[in-house]
Amino acid sequence: MAEEILDAQQQQWQDTFSRTSEMFGSEPSGPARKAAVVLRKEGVFRLLELGSGQGRDTLYFARKGFEVYALDYSNHGIEVINQKAKELGLSDLIITRIHDVRNSLPFPNEIFDACFSHMLFCMALTTAQLQFLSEEIWRVLRPGGICIYTVRHTGDSHYKTGIHRGEDMYEVAGFVVHFFTREKVELLAKGYEITNIDEFEEGDLPRKLFLVILRKK
């Protein structure tokens, strides 16, 4: 896929967030609720969230007592999170940063207890870029740290619709989606133990997704 198509997705999300203050609603996602239960049992405190969007899950995790480092490449999304955190008195638990995950994560090694990401992995990222991201997450997690992410899979009704953008990526309504197989989950799990791969549905379509839980070896 041409690099300019990948780059254009950043502006697509920026414009969307600018037009819609709560694109995905104000309630936390189902995966975030499940992740909070898992992470609390694991004794997690410092959590990295990738693709934080407008912060519905970020704020939820902070309310649950996690210290959340929220990264997104939309500066508008980050601004919304900062404003909401201030209004809710959660600024001490939420640290935000504008970041493109195609680049190295801006943190030293082994400083996070866990990483959470809802549908970032199925954005406009090539397999090679996803492998790099998985390695970066591994680098910043402490030994035994947990990585939880969700992705749309090839059983989704949008798979092979819209404009083909290479590999298993299709542009639907202006957004490029990378659809996963179980084999791709396994490919990205180098250095991790796969604890669980669950299938679930979300939204009106409904979207069909994997919820993946990994543990750093």
What confidence tens digit (pLDDT) does each residue in 106-129 have? 999 999 999 999 999 999 899 999
In tens, the pLDDT along 148-164 reads: 999 999 999 999 999 99
pLDDT at 75: 86
What are the tens digits of pLDDT across the range 34-66? 999 999 999 999 999 999 988 999 999 999 999
Reply yes or no on whether the pLDDT at 16 is more than 80: no
- The sheet with strand 94-98 has its strands ordered as 94-98, 67-72, 46-50, 112-118, 141-152, 207-216, 192-202
The owner of tokens 């590999």 is 167
Under DSSP, the state recorded for 108 is: -
Mean pLDDT of 14-41: 81
Query: Given a cut of 90, is residue 18 above it in pLDDT?
Result: no
Q: What angle do CA 84, 37, 22 make, to 5 degrees?
A: 30
More confident residue, 19 or 61: 61
Q: Number of folded domains in the chain? A: 1
Q: Which domain holds residue 149?
A: 3-20+27-216
